[in-house]
């Protein structure tokens, strides 16, 4: 497969909504993800805790943001399949390497760089079809997960219910560390068959949640939206690539359809904003740094 070097890079599905779970549409080719958290997500508590964390860093004279490319995230790639062929989910090393390359391209303007720490392959039909919150998910992650909060555990499978993927919030790690990680549909990796979601940015989107971002359409047209000041409000997910869409006429700006945290096609999405990058960095410092300041 010929990978595009991104000024285009996309994202697909997974965590962040008001409260606990944001249901997605049923058709895998018409949506990106389902929001999942092992505990009820209290946005006010999370944001208040972040404010306190940053205030303490400033009081100690420490910087609250890190330089581009200075934070290495080790990635354990867990290939869950139902057989030895690609059609049965057994991804080759080439596609795994391409997925890591897509992440590094999409996150090029951030502090984060992704390094493959290892790959394991498991043939288990029940785990292959796992869905969020299921016994199969718990069993798979308990058996396979490696590392601490700083390690990205990325599971490829074929989730039940037509999902492209899901992820956990950084703030959830402390209470349920074995649940931590990102799950993606195996055919969404670069060169997969889940067109138009087959350029590897399901992973980009899900890792955005893993680093603390909400969807761009979080909360619709009502403040605080996604809690990020430089993403325009958006009433609902965008699909395809609807240039000029303005679903929140009472709020400034057109819908952020090229943002990795929307639901548009892989070929449409190509950016994180400066304030999204800052939030990911700060959430990582608070919850995922191996040695917290």
Q: Which residues contact 209 (CB under 8 A, 6 or more apart)?
A: 14, 15, 16, 167, 168, 169, 182, 261
- DSSP per-residue letters across 111-169: SEEEEEEEEEEEE-HHHHT--TT-HHHHHHHHHH--S-TTSEEEEEE--TTS--EEE--
Q: Are strands 71-81 and 152-157 parallel, antiparallel or unpaired?
A: parallel
* 206 catalytically annotated: yes
- Taken in order 49, 51, 52, 53, the sign of the CA dihedral is positive
23: exposed, middle or buried (C-beta count within 10 Å: 0-12, 13-18, 19+)? Answer: exposed
Q: Are 240 and 255 in contact (CB under 8 A)?
A: no
Contact residues for 17 (Cβ-Cβ < 8 A; gap 6+): 35, 41, 214, 215, 218
Catalytic residue of the set 199, 206, 234, 271: 206
Cα–Cα distance, 43 to 277 (Å, whole number): 18
Strand partners, 259: 271
- Least Cα distance to 232 among 241, 19, 223, 26 occurs for 223
Q: Which residues are catalytic?
A: 206
């Amino acid at each position: 497969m010929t990978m595009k070097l991104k000024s285009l890079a996309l994202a697909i599905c997974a965590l962040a909504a008001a409260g606990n779970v944001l249901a997605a549409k049923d058709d895998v080719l018409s949506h990106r993800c389902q929001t999942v958290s092992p505990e009820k997500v209290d946005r006010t508590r999370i944001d208040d805790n972040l404010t306190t964390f940053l205030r303490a860093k400033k009081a100690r004279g420490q910087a609250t943001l890190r330089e581009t490319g200075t934070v290495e995230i080790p990635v354990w790639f867990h290939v869950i399949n139902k057989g030895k062929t690609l059609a049965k989910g057994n991804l080759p090393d080439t596609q795994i390497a391409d997925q890591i390359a897509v992440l590094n391209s999409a996150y090029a303007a951030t502090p984060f760089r992704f390094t493959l720490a290892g790959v394991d392959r498991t043939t288990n039909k029940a785990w292959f079809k796992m869905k969020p919150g299921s016994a199969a998910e718990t069993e798979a992650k308990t058996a396979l997960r490696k590392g601490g909060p700083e390690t990205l555990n990325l599971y490829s499978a074929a989730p039940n219910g037509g999902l492209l993927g899901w992820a956990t919030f950084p703030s959830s790690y402390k209470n349920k560390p074995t649940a931590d990680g990102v799950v993606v549909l195996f055919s969404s990796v670069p060169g997969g068959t889940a067109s138009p979601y087959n350029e590897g940015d399901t992973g980009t989107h899900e890792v955005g949640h893993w680093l603390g971002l909400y969807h761009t359409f979080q909360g619709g047209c009502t403040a605080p939206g996604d809690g990020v000041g430089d993403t325009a409000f958006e009433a609902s997910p965008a699909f395809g690539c609807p240039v000029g869409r303005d679903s929140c006429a009472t709020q400034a700006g057109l819908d952020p359809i090229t943002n990795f945290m929307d639901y548009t096609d892989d070929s449409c999405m190509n950016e994180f904003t400066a304030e999204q990058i800052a939030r990911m960095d700060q959430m990582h410092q608070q919850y995922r740094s191996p040695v917290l300041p």
